[in-house]
Structure 1
Amino acid sequence: MTDGQPQAARQIPADAQSILAYLPNRIRIALITSAAAIEYPIKAVVEMDLASCLDSLSVGLCRL
């Protein structure tokens, strides 16, 4: 991760970084910021948002 990203980005496990690397920068930063705000592991936040993309009735990052 680059120096321009939140401090939480520097503490992300390697496996989560490999998933986040495929996402656009604005979504990556939103996920990292969200995980830090609710004090959840980034892997859990990514999983929840991916699950919300699969649920047609939910509102999440897929609807942005």
Structure 2
Amino acid sequence: MTAPVAWSLAWSEDGELAPQDRFDLLQSLVQTESQDVQPSLIAAVEVMELTEVSGSHCTSVTRLWA
């Protein structure tokens, strides 16, 4: 999985990263960060509501957690 392209990210009016882009970014960070940082990133993914990431690709998620 490649990191999201910064200029293609969607932002809400209150300055937050769009849920799908936040999920994609967290996924790419989990793959690249040290083992000390990975648990906190995984925890951040786990607290996201499923409705926020409804458009995610299940194969990528499965591969990440496998």
Whether TM-score is above 0.5 comes out as: no
What TM-score comes out, normalization by structure 2 length? 0.27
What TM-score comes out, normalization by structure 1 length? 0.28
The structure richer in helix per residue is 1
